[in-house]
């Protein structure tokens, strides 16, 4: 599958001298607003390993933020994208079309939930897909309001900043934001005041009440939700919440949009996370895992809704680039052939088992307030000992300790106190366990 040895190897300080030199050049030439979790410069990557310019090999528990589900150099992605590069790089689908785009849309129709007639439109980034889902929903419903949720994340463009909940770092100083966006509660079980068991029913009732009383259901074009909230802290809305909201949307002619940009394409052990509670969204946005690391995104949904936008109203110069489409077909082929949904479920079993052991046996294990997520989208929420007070310092210290030992982990969460694990689904089980060993040792250090 990949030539890179699947072994952790730390041969210098992390970052090493070559990375430090590159970082100095980067600081002089790259805008400060573009940050990096770990300023270690990549030489190559594949399977569960990122090899840096100093020869260190890091275990990858980030997948470039849930992108390289099939690995960063998957054989089928490389083969198909290389062949496409040699044939042609671009014509613009809006000028002269090509088969790869159509084939990706056919695959999306097959893989997304529901057996109704479906169509898709392709774009470059996740934010662009979400923006276009809003355009399509507004064109279809002839309404303007858009409902989103506490802790939601949908991107960094102007409209998606408005849709995103967290101010710092995504919105601070970048307003004014797009109008007609309304935020309502989500069923965050761990932090729901009356307990997780009540969160689904109470949060959905509150959200529906707010929509009805504060916006008016017949003004709402779209309700947009991540079936597992990603940047907000890998929050799985408590059982019953998503079906209640989806039903409310259906009853009121509102387009229900599942943003599966982070949770989709096998990440949670299903093609799409909304399948878990049998939800069939009207529209679904995808990106990240779809194309094995090449920039591609999509809006897929009911044909009659997708066709509501007039010809020329959707698109963009690069949307559905042929090389990215070839990459997507290679990624989907890999997901099917290697049964990556099954792999994700196994990763969940191993990770949750080991994390629960750490919580039970480590002297400071009670800083792990919650272990949650599905498939290879697993997180721990860190709190101050004996409380539920967020502990972002522990998250930062743990991440730093893991990085120093050659394990790349990411943080997230509204309170910055969540350590999230998003390994490539092709990671070997030995490497997965070794990464968890390092996390366990990191707990001993804090």
Ligand X SMILES: Cc1ncc(COP(=O)(O)O)c(C=O)c1O
Residues of the shown chain interacting with ligand X in the complex, contacts defined by CB under 6 A: 65, 125-127, 130, 153-155, 226, 230-231, 259, 261-262, 287
The structure tokens listed for 118 are 């479906």
34 vs 95 by CB, closer to ligand X: 34
355 vs 410 by CB, closer to ligand X: 410
DSSP conformational letter for 383: B
Rounded CA separation 142/134 (Å): 11
Looking up tokens 């694990």, which residue turns up?
421
Residues found in the chain: 446
98 vs 153 by CB, closer to ligand X: 153
355 vs 422 by CB, closer to ligand X: 422
Least Å distance between CB 121 and ligand X? 16
Least Å distance between CB 75 and ligand X? 24
Rounded CA separation 65/11 (Å): 25
Rounded CA separation 78/74 (Å): 6
DSSP H or E stretch at residue 44: strand 42-46
Rounded CA separation 64/169 (Å): 19
Q: Whose CB is nearest to ligand X?
A: 126
DSSP conformational letter for 191: G
Least Å distance between CB 124 and ligand X? 8
CA distances from 400 to 87, 212, 443 (A): 44, 45, 11
With contact defined as beta carbons under 8 Å apart, do 327 and 412 qualify? Answer: no
153 vs 188 by CB, closer to ligand X: 153
Least Å distance between CB 273 and ligand X? 10
Least Å distance between CB 262 and ligand X? 4
CB-neighbour burial class of residue 377 (10 A; exposed 0-12, middle 13-18, buried 19+):
buried
**What backbone phi and psi angles, to 5 degrees, belong to 21?**
-65, -45
121 vs 368 by CB, closer to ligand X: 121
Q: Sign of the CA dihedral 108, 165, 267, 65?
A: positive
CA distances from 147 to 59, 186, 218, 253, 326 (A): 38, 12, 12, 13, 34
Least Å distance between CB 230 and ligand X? 4
Rounded CA separation 29/36 (Å): 14
Rounded CA separation 172/156 (Å): 11
Least Å distance between CB 46 and ligand X? 22
156 vs 239 by CB, closer to ligand X: 156
257 vs 442 by CB, closer to ligand X: 257
16 vs 62 by CB, closer to ligand X: 62
């Amino acid at each position: 599958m990949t030539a890179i040895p699947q072994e952790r190897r730390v041969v210098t300080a992390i970052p090493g001298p070559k990375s430090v030199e590159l970082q100095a050049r980067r600081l002089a030439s790259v805008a400060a607003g573009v940050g990096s979790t770990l300023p270690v410069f990549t030489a190559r990557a594949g399977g569960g390993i990122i090899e840096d310019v100093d020869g260190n090999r890091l275990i990858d528990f980030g997948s470039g933020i849930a992108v390289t589900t099939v690995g960063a150099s998957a054989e089928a992605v490389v083969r198909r994208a290389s062949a496409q590069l040699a044939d042609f790089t671009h014509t613009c689908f809006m000028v002269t079309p090509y088969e790869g785009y159509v084939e990706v849309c056919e695959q999306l129709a097959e893989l997304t939930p529901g057996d109704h007639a479906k169509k898709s439109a392709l774009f470059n980034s996740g934010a662009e897909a979400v923006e276009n889902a809003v355009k399509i929903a507004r064109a279809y419903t002839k309404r303007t309001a858009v409902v989103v949720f506490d802790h939601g994340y949908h991107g960094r463009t102007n409209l998606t900043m408005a849709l995103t909940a967290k101010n710092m770092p995504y919105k601070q100083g970048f307003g004014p934001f797009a109008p007609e966006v309304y935020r309502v509660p989500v069923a965050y079980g761990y932090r729901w005041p009356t307990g997780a068991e009540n969160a689904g029913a109470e949060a959905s009732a509150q959200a529906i009440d707010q929509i009805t009383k504060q916006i008016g259901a017949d003004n709402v074009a779209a309700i947009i939700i991540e079936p597992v909230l990603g940047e907000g802290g890998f929050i799985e809305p408590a059982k019953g919440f998503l079906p209640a909201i989806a039903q409310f949307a259906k009853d009121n002619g509102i387009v229900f949009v599942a943003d599966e940009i982070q949770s989709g394409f096998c990440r949670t052990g299903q093609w799409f996370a909304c399948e878990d509670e049998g939800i069939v969204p009207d529209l679904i946005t995808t990106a990240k895992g779809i194309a094995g690391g090449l920039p591609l995104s999509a809006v897929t949904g009911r044909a009659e809704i997708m066709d509501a936008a007039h010809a020329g109203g959707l698109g963009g110069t690069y949307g559905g680039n042929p090389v990215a489409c070839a990459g997507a077909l290679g990624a989907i082929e890999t997901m099917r052939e290697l049964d990556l949904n099954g792999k994700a479920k196994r990763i969940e079993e191993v990770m949750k088992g080991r994390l629960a052991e750490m919580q039970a046996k480590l002297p400071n294990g009670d800083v792990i307030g919650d272990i949650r997520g599905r498939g290879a989208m697993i997180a721990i929420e860190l709190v101050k000992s004996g409380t539920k007070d967020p502990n972002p310092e522990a998250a930062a210290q743990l991440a730093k300790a893991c990085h120093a030992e050659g394990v790349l982990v990411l943080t997230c969460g509204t309170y910055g106190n969540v350590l999230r694990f998003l390994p490539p689904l092709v990671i070997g089980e030995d490497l997965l366990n070794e990464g968890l060993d390092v996390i366990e040792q990191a707990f001993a250090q804090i």
